[in-house]
Structure formats: C-alpha cells, structure tokens
Chain A
Amino acid sequence: MTRFAADVVTLARKDLRLELRARDTLPAMLLFVVATLVVFHFAIPNSSSRLAANGLLWVAILFTALLGLGRAFVPEREHGVLDGLVLAPCDRSAIWLGKGLAALAFLALAEAVALPAFALFFWGVGGATLAGVALADVGICLVGSFVAAMSVASRARELLLPLLFLPLAVPIVIGGVGASVASGPGRYLAFLGLYDVVFAILCWASFEYVVTE
C-alpha cells in the first residue's frame, strides 16, 4: 500500500517537474479561465439570475480542466515513454493516480485565480461553493485523467477526450451547481463525494486494462 503511494508521489512529482520546465499548460489554463469569465459577462444578459452566473462558473471550470487534461499525457505519448512506465513493476493504476493528482494541482491553481475573478466580476463565493468545487475537482481530475489515457490510444485524441469526458461530467456539474445554489447543499456535497468514491474505485480497478493488451 505504501509502495503504491510512493509510486504515485514519484509520478506526480515528475509531472509537476515537467510542467515547471515547460511552463505551458498552467499559464494557458489561467488565461483561459479568466478570458472565459469575461466572455460570460458579455454572454449573459444583465437581468439574469445569480443561478445562471453560478452555472457559468462550473462551465468555466469544466472547460479549463479539459484544456489541462488534453495536455496531460503528451509527454508520455511522445517517443512512446508510456511503454517505459508500463514496463515498470509498479501498479499501473499508479500512473493514473499520479497524473490525476498533478492535474488536480494545476486545476486548483487555476481556480485560485478563477474564484476571486468570479467574485470580482459576478457574485461572491460561499463556503458551500468552495466545498463543492473541491469535491468536484477530485472527480473531474480522476475521471479526466483516466479518459485522457484512453484517448491517447486513438487517432483522434484531442477530439475524443471531450466527447468521452462530458457525459461522465454531467453528474459532477449537477452536484456542483446544486452545492452552490441550493438552500440545502449537504445533499449535493454528499452526492459529489459518492461520485468521487464510486468512480475512483472503478478507475483504479480498470486502469490496468487501458494501458495493456
């Protein structure tokens, strides 16, 4: 168990280091999310509700995450490096989880900019929203990095990732928006937790088959 954790940490650190060197994905995500929020300001009419604005926050988060996830397995795709990781004696699921944790770090950093920007442009963000964002991020990154690995194998990578991911993300958006907007957010937060647990287990159990024949 600790070996698994150590492998996950090794791989996540590797991804963070790669991003530190390349410095392309994270700045792009930051810029994208702020630009998206600005577009939303012009896209929704003045008299629209707080609910609409909250919903748009979730759309911004989701698509920013997709931007980052699209780049997630690029280093492994180049020059077949994924083979090197698959050959290693570690549990293959560590590849998925390491990548997922790195993606989570990038998304959290992007949100550290996005949420204050949202509060500035639209309305303040409450505690329930933050909790919702945190739980949703976990789901987005775990499922997202899994699906990103799946789309590596295909010819139409960049196209396939959003197609595979968005239907799976619908429950996350529902949970997140519910947590932001409803009077009783507990139910939605619990649902997000459930989603995270269920899909984390499924991803962990089946990642082996995504990278091997």
Chain B
Amino acid sequence: MAASIVLVFFVVPNDADQGFSQRIFYFHVPIALTAYVCFGWGAWKALLHLWKRPPGADLESYVSIHHGVIFGALTLLTGSIWAKISWGHWWVWSENQLVLFLVLFLFYCAYFMLRFSVEDGPARANLCAVYALFGVVLIPVSFLAIRLAAHIIHPVVFTRHGPRVHGTMLLTFFVCWAAMLALFATLYHVELAGKRLDSRLRELRELLA
C-alpha cells in the first residue's frame, strides 16, 4: 500500500502540464477533501458511540479527528503556498475554502484541548463525541457564513485562475485523492492498532497487579 502511494506521488508531477501552481492543487484539494472525510468519519463514530455504545467507538472517533487535524494543517499549509504562488500573498481571506479550514482547524484544536483536560472515562468520551457532532454541523453552517461574509468583507472579487480539469488532469486528480484517502486509511489503522495495543497492555498490567 505504502509503495503504491509513493508511486503515485512520483507520477503526478509528470502529468501536470502548465505551471507549478497547478501541481500544488493536486495536493491541496485532495488533502482538504480527505480532511473532511476524517471529520465526517470521526463524527459518525461519535454518533455511534452515543447511540449504540460500541466500546471502541470513542477511540476511533478520536483517531479520525486527530488525522483530520493533521490533514487540516496540511491543507492550510498547501493552501498558503498556493495563495503565495497565485496571488503573491501568504494568506487571502477571499479564498473561502481556506477560511473555512481555518475556523474548523481552530474548532478541532479545541477538541484536543477538551480531550486532554478531562479525566479519561465515559464522561470524556461523551463530551468529545458531542463536540465532534457539533463540528460536523459547523462545517456547512460556516461554509454558508463565509460565503455570505465574502459580500461584506471583499467587495473586490479575485478571479481565480482555477485549474480547468479535464482528461489526464482529472485522472491525476482522482488518483491523487485516492492516494490521500489510502494514506489516511493506513495511518488511521496504524494509530488505532497502536492505541488499542496500549490499552490492552494497561489492562493486562492491571490484572496482574
């Protein structure tokens, strides 16, 4: 799996045909979309935790959101690079996607603050699950808000020279996205396995005590 991801990363720049900025796009948007998937998956696990209470759901939700924040940070980073290349500034408020991500990034960082300031136990699991659900509701609401904000804050509209994806570019885009999702899935399972091992060890240590 890891090998195929690496292969894809090397294939992509070869396909891109006009301008370095386009290549960032191949990373930036799939990373952003994967981050959304992470948050969505985390919220789904959170809902399951509150609803059916399977014992692993809280941990799965946490790991998913953890990766969402990592991908989110990468989105902001690649987005910033893109902005610098396209418009010469490291940050542009008119780029709705980016602003939305900033708000969500702050929200999910607060999720970590919440998680680390409450004692481990069912109370913490409940609080984090509820907060994860708030996050996923915040995504569309913020998106709407930021679009509305564009009217009052940015009377000047930047014309975006967005990539017109067609043909091989489209294929490359999807391959890249699949690669990002595969990366998330791999990291997710690896971290989850690690954390489960941790808690198993703790349980065994306790039984022996």
A143 to B133, CA, bound (A): 13
A213 to B130, CA, bound (A): 12
Residues facing B in A153-195 (CB within 8 A) are 153-156, 159-160, 163-164, 166-168, 170-171, 174-175, 177-178, 181-182, 187-188, 191, 194-195
Q: Does B104 contact A (CB under 8 A)?
A: yes
Contact A174 B118 (CB under 8 A): no
A202 to B129, CA, bound (A): 13
Of B2-10, B71-79, B137-145, the one touching chain A: B137-145
Contact B148 A188 (CB under 8 A): yes
A168 to B137, CA, bound (A): 10
The contact of B118 among A51, A153, A177, by CB within 8 Å, is A153
In the assembled complex, which residues on chain A have CB atoms less than 8 Å from the CB atom of B123? 153, 213
In the assembled complex, which residues on chain B have CB atoms less than 8 Å from the CB atom of A166? 106
Majority secondary structure of chain B interface residues (helix, strand, loop or mixed): helix
The contact of A167 among B106, B127, B133, B148, by CB within 8 Å, is B106
In the assembled complex, which residues on chain B have CB atoms less than 8 Å from the CB atom of A42? none
Q: How large is the interface on B (under 10, 10 to 19, 20 to 34, 35 or more residues)?
A: 20 to 34
A178 to B148, CA, bound (A): 8
A171 to B106, CA, bound (A): 14
Q: Does B183 contact A (CB under 8 A)?
A: no
Interface string of A49-79 (1 = CB under 8 A from B): 0010000000000000000000000000000
Contact B117 A191 (CB under 8 A): no
A187 with B148, Cβ < 8 A, contacts A153-B118, A167-B110, A209-B50 known: yes
Contact B104 A164 (CB under 8 A): no
Q: Does B181 contact A (CB under 8 A)?
A: no
A209 to B141, CA, bound (A): 23
A188 to B151, CA, bound (A): 11
Interface centre among A51, A153, A191 (most CB of B within 10 A): A153
Q: How far is the CB of A188 from chain B (nearest CB, A)?
A: 6
In the assembled complex, which residues on chain A have CB atoms less than 8 Å from the CB atom of B11? none
Contact B148 A164 (CB under 8 A): no
Q: How large is the interface on A (under 10, 10 to 19, 20 to 34, 35 or more residues)?
A: 20 to 34
A178 with B152, Cβ < 8 A, contacts A166-B106, A170-B142 known: yes
In the assembled complex, which residues on chain A have CB atoms less than 8 Å from the CB atom of B124? 153
Q: Kindly report which residue of chain A lies nearest to residue B142, judged by CB atoms.
A: A171
Interface string of B135-166 (1 = CB under 8 A from A): 00110011011101101100000000000000
In the assembled complex, which residues on chain B have CB atoms less than 8 Å from the CB atom of A174? 145-146, 148-149
In the assembled complex, which residues on chain A have CB atoms less than 8 Å from the CB atom of B148? 174-175, 178, 187-188, 191
Q: Does A46 contact B (CB under 8 A)?
A: no
A166 to B123, CA, bound (A): 23
Can you list 14 A-B contacts with CB-CB less than 8 angstroms, sorted by A residue number? Answer: A51-B152, A153-B118, A153-B123, A155-B117, A156-B113, A163-B110, A163-B113, A166-B106, A175-B148, A178-B151, A182-B152, A202-B133, A209-B50, A210-B126
